[in-house]
């Protein structure tokens, strides 16, 4: 078996022990004689899986009973729409912090529904930095404030979140469970699962119950948070496989020491990569130092031809997924929780060799 180092942005590498456990349990889950994928979502066996996943998330992230935890279909993009549909009714407006491609998608969807105040826009700096908390001025009476915690394409990440009077809503698709956070600072956290916590097609939603209580009623039932909170993620047939894998991932996170331990490892991995890039003139990291993401590291080479050659040779050397997003080009290494330190070491050696040969 030849597994490569996968630096893809998502769907992304999963921890090997998770894949091995899923493989071992694939044909006969917990003595049921069937796969978890073939089982009723209302069975006792699956009930233990979904409840276990929720309990593990509560424990790892410190989520109190004031919040509902939901597993919803449609990934994070569906949340871009569901949030304003539920929380941005007539006469309301919401504040958005425009930090790059993903914030922009959230803004676009909200504009389809209601009034949007873009209170900060990183356009002049090509979205290569996050705002300092002191730069942000919020709109009195806004229904909520939305931000993207980590811009997966640009490679910039909030290091500190603003304290807001209105409920703060964060898209944490690409840095959920990568570091310790204070959940009580947020009205809602959501994340597409396919980077740090599982397979694609599912969003983890952590929403404060008092916020759910303010949701609009005149929208389709399937799009109401209240619907999914009432019948905890079982209003319809959920993505049972994704919930099962998410549970395995949370068990793996626990086994490596929880979010504090992962944060230390992630900071070390990112520092090793940025140190290497900073030390070689040939490479030009994209993000401003103070906003550099610990999850998605982006950089340029002197020409697009060299970038293409870099990606091709890296792949031949067992490192895949390094091509930057099609909208910005360049190189991107996505180094989520499941990216092992050996992968970073291999990439650092490759970076040194490539610069020596081509610089
Ligand atoms: C920060 C961020 N938000 C939202 C999304 C969209 O997620 P999905 O494809 O699950 O809808 C992505 C996907 O890469 C992302 O990186």
> What pLDDT shows up at residue 2?
83
CA 221 – CA 345 distance, rounded (Å) = 49
Cβ burial 324-342 (10 Å sphere, 16+ → b, else e): bbeebebbbbbbbbbbbee
The pLDDT assigned to 327 comes to: 86
> Is residue 192 within 6 Å of ligand 1 at its C-beta?
yes
CA pair distance 101, 326, nearest whole angstrom: 12
Choose among 102, 100, 259: nearest CA to 171: 102
The pLDDT-based confidence of 1 (bands split at 50, 70, 90) is low
- 258-358 CATH, one of 3.90.1150.10, 1.10.340.30, 3.30.499.10, 1.10.10.10: 3.90.1150.10
What's the pLDDT band for 328 if we cut at 50, 70, 90? confident
Residue 77 Cβ < 6 Å to ligand 1: yes
Cα 29 to averaged position of ligand 1 atoms, centre (Å): 30
Compute, in angstroms, the gap from residue 192 CA to the centroid of ligand 1: 6
Instruction: For domain 16-255, give the fold.
Output: 3.40.640
* Domain definitions of the chain by residue range: 16-255, 258-358
> What is the per-residue pLDDT for 243?
98
Confidence of residue 131 (pLDDT cuts 50, 70, 90): very high
Residue whose CA is at the smallest distance from ligand 1 atom 15: 173
Q: 314 in helix, strand or coil?
A: helix
- Compute the average pLDDT of residues 339-348: 98
pLDDT tens-digit readout, 9-64: 999 999 999 999 999 999 999 999 999 999 999 999 999 999 999 999 999 999 99
Query: pLDDT tens across 85-120, in order?
Result: 999 998 999 999 999 999 999 999 999 999 999 999
**What's the pTM value of the predicted model, to 2 decimals?**
0.98
């Amino acid at each position: 078996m030849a597994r490569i180092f996968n630096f893809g942005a998502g769907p992304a590498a999963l921890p090997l022990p998770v894949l091995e456990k899923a493989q071992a349990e694939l044909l006969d889950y917990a003595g049921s004689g069937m796969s978890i994928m073939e089982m009723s979502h209302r069975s006792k066996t699956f009930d233990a899986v979904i409840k276990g996943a929720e309990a593990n998330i509560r424990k790892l992230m410190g989520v109190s009973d004031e919040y509902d935890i939901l597993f919803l279909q449609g990934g994070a993009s569906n949340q871009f729409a569901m949030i304003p549909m539920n929380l941005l009714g007539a006469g309301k407006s919401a504040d958005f912090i425009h930090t790059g491609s993903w914030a922009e998608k959230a803004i676009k969807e909200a504009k389809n529904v209601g009034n949007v105040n873009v209170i900060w826009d990183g356009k002049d700096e090509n979205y290569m930095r996050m705002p300092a908390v002191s730069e942000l001025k919020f709109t009195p009476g806004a229904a909520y404030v939305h931000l993207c915690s980590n811009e997966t394409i640009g490679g910039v990440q909030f290091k500190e979140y603003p304290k807001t009077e209105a409920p703060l809503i964060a898209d944490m698709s690409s840095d959920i469970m990568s570091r310790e956070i204070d959940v009580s600072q947020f009205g809602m956290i959501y994340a597409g699962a396919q980077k740090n916590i599982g397979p694609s097609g599912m969003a983890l939603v952590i929403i404060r119950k008092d916020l759910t209580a303010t949701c609009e009623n005149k929208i389709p039932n399937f799009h109401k948070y209240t619907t999914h909170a009432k019948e905890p993620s079982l209003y319809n047939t959920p993505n049972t496989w994704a919930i099962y894998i998410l549970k395995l991932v949370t068990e793996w996170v626990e086994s490596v020491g929880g979010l504090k331990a992962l944060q230390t490892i992630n900071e070390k991995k990112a520092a090793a990569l940025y140190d290497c890039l900073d030390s070689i003139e040939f490479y030009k990291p994209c993000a401003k130092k103070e906003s550099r993401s610990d999850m998605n590291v982006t950089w340029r080479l002197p020409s697009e031809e060299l970038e293409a050659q870099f990606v091709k040779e890296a792949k031949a050397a067992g490192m895949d997924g390094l091509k930057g997003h099609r909208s910005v080009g360049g190189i991107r290494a996505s180094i989520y929780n499941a990216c092992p330190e050996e992968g970073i070491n291999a990439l650092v050696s490759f970076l040194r060799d490539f610069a020596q040969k081509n610089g």
